Amino acid sequence: MKKIVDENKDWLKYEKQAYDNGYEVVCGVDEAGRGPLAGPVFAAAVILPKGYIVEGANDSKKLSEKKREALFEKIKEEAVSYSIAMVDEGTIDEINILNATFMAMNKAVDSLEQRPDFVMVDGNKIPNGLEIPAEAIVKGDANSISIACASILAKVARDRYMLEMAEKYPQYQFEKHKGYGTKLHYQMLDEYGVSEIHRQSFLKSWYAKNE
């Protein structure tokens, strides 16, 4: 088993609990992009070899972009199975961000080549419709290696997607803010209006200000 930087943390605590409870194929799930004003929400599901730690993996928010990119490829190579899914901004507006996030998580789990018998989800809620035994783990991406790896896959996949959108809609400078509600992003909205990939339901206060 490989070690990671924080040797005092038991990155396999929750995985071990699942194995001790009789589960064999344990999966970590996390999302990226719940908060942005534009673009889809992404989710990833990762099954690692039993008792295995991906060296260097951590909560994606604690890693540099360069480190996340390197780990993205490493996780895909070392995982037993992984899947990345997205739900677009139109669906987010239609069913709300929480339901869209759950939908993305379900899609990621359902798309795994190997079906898990236990799912660990980052956060405090188990997605509606998940038909596999599951546990919601608050700050799971900072405490479970499987969820941490899922957080990296989801984050990198979404960032790459937003870089593609930056080429399609260069005026919004998505490469700098990835769709999040930064000062620059609101300045671009004021100047150019709303694009096809903006979440209408996230812009109510902006619309009200500009009436």
CA distances from 6 to 30, 61, 207 (A): 21, 16, 45
In this prediction the pTM is 0.94
Domain boundaries, the chain: 13-209
Element (H, E) at 74: helix 65-78
Using DSSP, how many helices (H) and how many strands (E) does the chain show? 8, 5
- CA atoms of 116 and 173, how far apart (whole Å): 39
Q: Give the orientation angle of helix 145-168 with respect to helix 13-20, to 10 degrees.
A: 120
Pick the CATH number of 13-209 from 3.30.70.580, 3.40.50.10490, 3.30.420.10, 3.30.930.10: 3.30.420.10
Give the model's pLDDT for residue 145. Answer: 97
Output the CA–CA distances (angstroms, integers) from residue 2 to 7, 54, 78, 97, 211, in the order listed: 10, 7, 12, 37, 57
User: What pLDDT digit, counting tens, does each position of 97-121 carry?
Assistant: 999 999 999 999 999 999 999 999 9
| Cα dihedral 110, 111, 115, 121 in deg (nearest 10) | -60
Tens digit of each residue's pLDDT (9 = 90 or more) over 129-169: 999 999 999 999 999 999 999 999 999 999 999 999 999 99
Is the pLDDT confidence value at 85 over 80?
yes
